[in-house]
Amino acid sequence: SGGAKQEAEKEADGAFKGAISKPLVTDIYTADPSAHVFNGKIYIYPSHDIDAGTPENDNGDHFDMKDYHILSMDSIGGAVTDHGVALDIKDIPWAGRQLWAPDAAFKDGTYFLYFPVKDKQDVFRIGVATSKSPTGPFKPEPKPIEGSYSIDPAVFTDTDGNSYMYFGGIWGGQLQRWKDGKYDANGSKTDLEDDKLPSLNAKIAKLSPNMKEFAEAPKDVVVVDKDGKPMLTGDHDRRFFEAAWVHKYNGKYYFSYSTGDTHFLAYGIGDSPYGPFTYQGAFMKPVVGWTTHHSIVEQNGKWLLFYHDTEVSGGKTHLRNVKVTELKHDANGKIEMIDPYSK
């Protein structure tokens, strides 16, 4: 109702007053910030939100994005540059609609932009595009990465030079429709629809040396509790939903993700890029807006959390803005809890 909407807007306004950080850009809407340090400088690869007028539904059709802009800054607090359109959906031959959360990587003089988009059959696939510059323009490969599906690619390059793609997202991200290894158009709209079953997992695939193909069939990224038991489908506060990210700290692998419908950023720690990852807890409380999606990167010895909320649009879920704050690992390697509105 109008009254409930007004109440929600008032609550959002109150929250934004206590926001711990400011939107990095305010003249376009940006979300899902994948940040990297290339040549000592911070580059952010976000989604570019627009008001396309597509009605809102549980599949996320209202996230109807059509291009990417890359942002850069020398360091936190410095001026942010918007480098303009780096890749447009009209230049991706196989794309249908919805350019969702991207990521980037660098190898041997080439920058790689990884992006999920629905193909012409309305099935999410992951594509790759290349450029000699971290800010593009990027040239897409003619076809999606073979064997790829679902959303939210995150490419982690280990200290030994091997790169891995983490990907997947349930609900609108369609991961549940691949539970038998091939796409089921009539499959569940949400998850496995049985709270007692182990939850769906993000996927991992090692990338080929050319960074454009999977070197192996995707495997499950299992998150387990302290007793080694996998998270269950009904455990909405802790189980994986979308927005996978990996960073390495003190020789351990940290797998972080969004819990989706419960709006937390949570993480597990493991001894290998493949996991399993032992669940540690949430590290960020919900932002205003339905989605929460982040990246974690180190610059000059400081760990940074890039995330988004909906401050610029006054709380509109599909019109988000990226932000950054410092992230701290405590003496035991645990990530300290971040409250985005604690000021």
Shortest Cβ 132–ligand FUB spacing (Å)? 27
- Cross-strand pairs, 129: 113, 140
User: 122: part of which helix (H) or strand (E)?
Assistant: none
Contact between 293 and ligand FUB per CB under 6 A: yes
Shortest Cβ 258–ligand FUB spacing (Å)? 6
User: Annotated catalytic residue: which of 32, 152, 309, 311?
Assistant: 32
User: Which positions from 50 through 69 interact with ligand FUB, judged by CB under 6 A?
Assistant: 63
Local structure of 263: helix, strand or coil: coil
Q: What is d(CA 248, CA 19) in angstroms, rounded to the nearest whole number? A: 28
User: Annotated catalytic residue: which of 64, 152, 191, 242?
Assistant: 242
Shortest Cβ 39–ligand FUB spacing (Å)? 27
Strands (E), 120-222: 124-131, 139-140, 154-157, 163-167, 202-206, 219-221
The residue from 34, 47, 72, 150 that contacts ligand FUB (CB under 6 A) is: 47
Shortest Cβ 169–ligand FUB spacing (Å)? 6
Asked about 194 being catalytic, the answer comes back as no
Q: With the CA atoms of 87, 88, 91 and 95 taken in that order, what torsion angle do they form, in degrees rounded to the nearest 10? A: 110
Decide whether 82 or 225 has the Cβ nearer to ligand FUB: 82
Contact between 32 and ligand FUB per CB under 6 A: yes
Contact between 243 and ligand FUB per CB under 6 A: yes
Shortest Cβ 241–ligand FUB spacing (Å)? 8
The region, left, alpha or beta by phi > 0 then psi within -120 to 50, assigned to residue 206 is beta
Contact between 167 and ligand FUB per CB under 6 A: no
> What residue has token string 């960020």?
284
- Contact pattern for ligand FUB over residues 213 through 242, marking x by CB under 6 A: -----------------------------x
Decide whether 32 or 309 has the Cβ nearer to ligand FUB: 32
DSSP code string of 68-113: EEEEEESSTTS--EEEEEEEEGGG-TTEEE-----EEEEETTEEEE
Give me 339's structure tokens.
Answer: 């409250």
Q: What is d(CA 323, CA 314) in angstroms, rounded to the nearest whole number? A: 15
Decide whether 240 or 278 has the Cβ nearer to ligand FUB: 240
Pairing of strands 223-224, 277-284: parallel
Cis before 116? omega within 30: no
Contact between 118 and ligand FUB per CB under 6 A: no
Asked about 49 being catalytic, the answer comes back as no
Shortest Cβ 285–ligand FUB spacing (Å)? 16
Quote the DSSP letter at residue 121.
T
The phi, psi pair for 307, rounded to 5°, reads -150, -175
Contact between 151 and ligand FUB per CB under 6 A: yes
Task: With CA atoms as reference, report the closest residue to 335 among 235, 255, 271, 230.
Answer: 255
The residue from 291, 310, 313, 321 that contacts ligand FUB (CB under 6 A) is: 291
Contact between 124 and ligand FUB per CB under 6 A: no
Decide whether 278 or 293 has the Cβ nearer to ligand FUB: 293
Shortest Cβ 190–ligand FUB spacing (Å)? 15
Task: Please say whether the beta carbons of 68 and 99 come within 8 A.
Answer: yes
- Cross-strand pairs, 154: 166
Binding site for ligand FUB (CB under 6 A): 31-32, 47, 63, 100-101, 151-152, 169, 242-243, 291, 293
- As annotated, the active-site residues are 32, 242
